[in-house]
Copies of this chain bind each other. A is one copy, B any other.
């Protein structure tokens, strides 16, 4: 903590981060005159800020020839220094572990996935984690010491300070195991633990900045991540979005999988049980009861018009709509994004869900399937790790602006003419 008396130095830092933000928001290399028009600063100021950012390693002079005007002395163009500080995202799914490596610019360097015996076998899961990490590092030709940030996604309610799970009935034994400090022994950076649905929400929020989003992570388990005006909402106990615990029979109980009432009903295993029951003794050409039935089978059959598959789909989406409608009425979100393996189901899913929501909510939000499907959580992990790294980089430039914590917070969100 530097001495507080700051003087005009804060101005310098403020303007520098203004320039940095301008360069960051643009998706292409920027020339100085463009930065001037965006930030409305003068040329010497911008030049000095760029110089500072260059020596600080935050931006580099791009070698590409600038776009646009092709007359006069060619301008130097600057962009973020992205091909450095690789970050790692890990998804501890119930049946598979995934890892993904990306640079600061968001370019994927490597990805790996691996099925694991089961969520209850901590040793097997840890071994799987080690293998997918090693695979990624090998593919990208990187050493673990070079990684700048790691984010681990997991079902359950996480304790971000302790780095443990506070509630994870589906992963017995994990509550007492501190996975972040375990992994931090191998990396030179911090390892963050985050709820998987929250990461799916981060992935959605990065595509939809500033919006209010309910991200439904729907696979074997069911969870939601809540994004309010672009900001992830974690809740008082970091337990926001635990919609899997919604119950209709006035009785909150976990079944033997550790599933809450709602996810037991419409999580993929619950859904398959329902389908198996529906199809019992009635083997069709596509859906034979002796083959291992998957959720995808049900959806493709529904898309082809199979009545019994449609019945399963209809029931499932009705239950989800019933559970979500109070949340949608309370939040009035812009959009509901559905991720997880179920996102392969296609528009059939959305059509049924929309119909059931229309019967229960006055303003039906936009509905969307995550294009990342079952990879949404890993991608959200990588995205969050990138944000952590950026925040840390920017922290130096922001030191003094902590003063802005004195800026009062009003209770209103700002009406049209009141936003400042």
In this complex, the member of A247, A332, A409 whose beta carbon has the largest number of chain B beta carbons within 10 angstroms is: A332
A406 and B39 alpha carbons, distance in the complex (Å):
8
User: Across the interface, do B408 and A231 meet the contact criterion of CB distance under 8 Å?
Assistant: no
User: Across the interface, do B363 and A237 meet the contact criterion of CB distance under 8 Å?
Assistant: yes
Q: Is A324 an interface residue when CB atoms closer than 8 A count as contact? A: yes
Taking residues whose C-beta sits less than 8 angstroms from the other chain, chain A's interface range is: 35 or more
Q: Which residues of the other chain, B, contact A232 by a CB distance below 8 angstroms?
A: 411-413
Q: Which residues of the other chain, B, contact A17 by a CB distance below 8 angstroms?
A: 407
Distance from A84 Cβ to chain B, minimum over Cβ atoms (Å): 19
A binding-site residues for B, Cβ under 8 Å: 4-5, 8, 10-11, 14, 17-18, 21-22, 24-25, 38-42, 160-161, 167, 192, 202, 205-206, 209-210, 212, 214, 224, 226-243, 245-247, 250-252, 318, 322-327, 329-334, 356, 359-363, 365, 383-384, 387-388, 390-392, 394-395, 398, 401-403, 406-413, 415-416, 418, 420
Given A22-B406, A206-B411, 7 additional A-B pairs, CB 8 A: A10-B11, A25-B408, A161-B416, A214-B330, A226-B330, A250-B318, A395-B420
Can you tell how many copies of this chain the complex includes? 2
Distance from A216 Cβ to chain B, minimum over Cβ atoms (Å): 11
User: Across the interface, do A240 and B418 meet the contact criterion of CB distance under 8 Å?
Assistant: no
28 A-B residue pairs with CB within 8 Å: A5-B42, A8-B8, A21-B408, A25-B408, A167-B362, A205-B411, A206-B411, A214-B330, A230-B409, A231-B409, A231-B411, A232-B412, A232-B413, A233-B331, A236-B363, A238-B332, A239-B363, A240-B332, A241-B330, A242-B330, A246-B325, A247-B360, A250-B360, A252-B362, A326-B326, A326-B327, A327-B327, A392-B418
Select one of B22, B210, B240, B411 contacting A330, CB under 8 A. B240
Select one of B214, B361, B365, B387 contacting A412, CB under 8 A. B387
Distance from A161 Cβ to chain B, minimum over Cβ atoms (Å): 6
